[in-house]
Amino acid sequence: MKIIPGSKMKPAEAKAAVDELYAKVAARWEERVTRSPFMQQLMSGKLPLSTIRLFFKNWGAWTIEINTLTACSYQRFLTFFKTHRELMAPLGEKIADEFMHPKPPGHYLVMMQTAKALGITEEEVFTQPLLSEFRAKIDFMRGVMFEGTAAEWYSCVTTEERIGHWAGDWFKALITHYGFTNEQATYFSTHHEADLEEHEEGVMGHGQFNRTVLQRLLEDGLAEERPTYGMEYCALTSVDLHAVMQRTALEEAERLKAK
């Protein structure tokens, strides 16, 4: 994807550029996340429940932090949203979705519903340090939020659309192989819907919102990229770090088993 700094793209060009980036993210995700030993074992019902617990304990804590960064994006990129006021309502709905659905404090509640089904307590989610590889991704995202450009941030969150599909794989695996009920696996069904579909009386799917913002940035000539970072780098690194989180859960589970 060739981005010329300051150059405004026509809507069709901008959409094509966004579609190209998302296609690269989808291919990288398929290779490094979906086909990984972690996901292949999960989807076939061969991933030990202890490893699932270990992953989800860290993932649950990770989600609490990433949702706060989503909220920060409103203030951080407010100038852009003042220009594109038609996106202010969808952004507000997106943030509210995370913190108000099904009731305050939001998606944290459905995360804990699934965590409890796995035997994970609130104390474990809130007070135990993240595995360093999980911390690596949240700190990468935080660094892009506060030091990067709007285009780099919205390239990082291209993975939100892939996480919607990933959540669908999790939901199917837990229901099919691990004896979970729909209510117990609700975290994954909720995010499959929220990230991919219009929901809750017209709330735009989170993935579609991110695509739209990135397209507007390209149309406005605001797709600024820093040396050694840039849109494609941020998007693919976000995928790679997700794969690392899965891999480290497998490795840590083996280490604990060997103790």
List pLDDT tens digits, range 182-214.
999 999 998 777 656 554 555 567 789 999 999
Q: Which pLDDT belongs to residue 112?
A: 94
pTM of the predicted structure, to 2 decimals: 0.92
User: Would you give the end-to-end CA distance of the chain in angstroms?
Assistant: 48
Predicted pLDDT at 109: 87
Secondary structure E strands in 119-182: none
Q: Choose among 47, 50, 27: nearest CA to 37.
A: 47
Cα-based distances in Å from 95 to 2, 118, 169: 31, 27, 24
Beta-carbon-side half-sphere exposure of residue 256 (alpha carbons within 13 Å): 11
CA pair distance 38, 194, nearest whole angstrom: 24
121 vs 112: CA distance, rounded Å: 8
What pLDDT shows up at residue 199? 44
User: Has residue 98 got a pLDDT over 80?
Assistant: no
Report domain extents, the chain: 21-258
Buried b (16+ CB within 10 A) or exposed e, 2-14: ebeeeeebeeeeb
Place of tokens 């943030």: 95
Q: What is the mean pLDDT of residues 41-68?
A: 96
Residue 174 scores a pLDDT above 50 = yes
CATH class of 21-258: mainly alpha
pLDDT per residue over 108-157, tens digit each? Answer: 789 999 999 999 999 999 999 999 999 999 999 999 999 999 999 999 99
The DSSP code sequence of 87-134 is GHHHHHHHHHHHHHSSSTTTHHHHHHHHHHHTT--HHHHHHSPPPHHH
